[in-house]
Structure 1
Amino acid sequence: MDEFDRKILLCLQENAADSLEAIAARVGLSTSPCWRRIQKMEAQGVIQRRVALLDPDRMRVGVTVFVSVRTNRHNADWAERFCAAVVAIPEVVEFYRMSGEIDYLLRIVVPDIAAYDRVYKRLIQSVELYDVSSAFAMERIKYTTALPVTYAE
């Protein structure tokens, strides 16, 4: 991966709907080599997909809740059932298995506390949980889906 590829990735992360001509001009290439590079990065899996980012307030999911889950059940069957249950909840937009005291961390988006309570009830009905802790985000200070490209080789 060279500097042209990194610039292309920055452009696509900023706005994947930009025309090929606009991206090529911004990175200093003609359209054909720019397109070949994009196709190559898609084939390699560097570019996984192109998506539209929606405004959470306009979608009525402006409340962000970070949910920490601890379990005392550390077996494959439990983990499989728990993961399947969480993945099936559309309000869960991020889901991580963690190291340290917290076993799982979820980011949930909902319109209000009542909607979160409904999600919470679905979550605790899915499998036995040792501890669930919720923290409501007061203000989003930084949010980006763009990954740094400086480390890519």
Structure 2
Amino acid sequence: MSADKDIDRLDREILRLLSVDASLSLADIAAKVGLTPTPCWKRIRRMEQDGIIRRRVAVLDPDKVGLPVSVFVAVETADHSSDWLARFATVIENTPEIVDAWRMSGDVDYLLHVVVPDIAAYDQFYRKLIAAVPLRNVSSRFSMERMKAAPLPV
């Protein structure tokens, strides 16, 4: 399913509703978009099967679960081999403090979003990261305030 041409207005409204509150009942979603539950369910199921809806999750408050420190870690590497990338991907996958990871263009190769309880925990994370794979440069930016966290504008 290609993004824009196969997602109609009703699909987009369903996606908007689910991206704000994935706990809405099927009956509530159907009523809000003007469908009966069965065709609404079929649309949701199709979008799940097509990978448009990847999963339904609860959004947690990082402060209330003891992870108030967000760090954005820019990583540069001198090695771009498939072996290095496989090792790095394994490190990313197996490191719970990394909640988002992006391969970038430009002067930074990777950007990681790391959450930790405090600076000491970040220092431990940093030491494990640089011991796990060879890196050219790692720079960290600590978030002072999260100003926006929003669903995709579908």
Contact in 2 for aligned 1:69/1:132 (Cα 8 Å)? yes
Residue 32 of structure 2 aligns to a residue whose secondary structure is: helix
**1:48 paired residue number:** 54
Partner of 1:89: 95
Runs of 4+ in 1 over 3 A off after TM superposition: none
Q: How does 1:67-82 map to 2 (within 5 A)?
A: 67-82=73-88
- TM-score, normalised by the number of residues in structure 2: 0.92
- Normalized against structure 1, the TM-score is what? 0.93
8 A contact 1:86–1:123 mirrored in 2: no
User: How far, CA to CA, are the matches of 2:132 and 2:41 in structure 1?
Assistant: 46
| Runs of at least 5 residues in structure 2 that lack an aligned partner in the other structure | 1-6
Aligned length: 148
Q: CA deviation at 1:9?
A: 0.6
Q: Tell me how far 1:34 sits from its aligned partner.
A: 1.0
Partner-residue secondary structure (3-state), 1:54: coil
- Can you give the 5+ residue segments of structure 1 that lack an aligned partner in the other structure? none
Q: CA deviation at 1:53?
A: 1.3
Structure 2: distance between partners of 1:74 and 1:42:
34
Distance 2:51 2:26 in 1: 19
| Aligned residue type for 2:48 | E
Output the CA distance in 2 between the equivalents of 1:6 and 1:51: 18
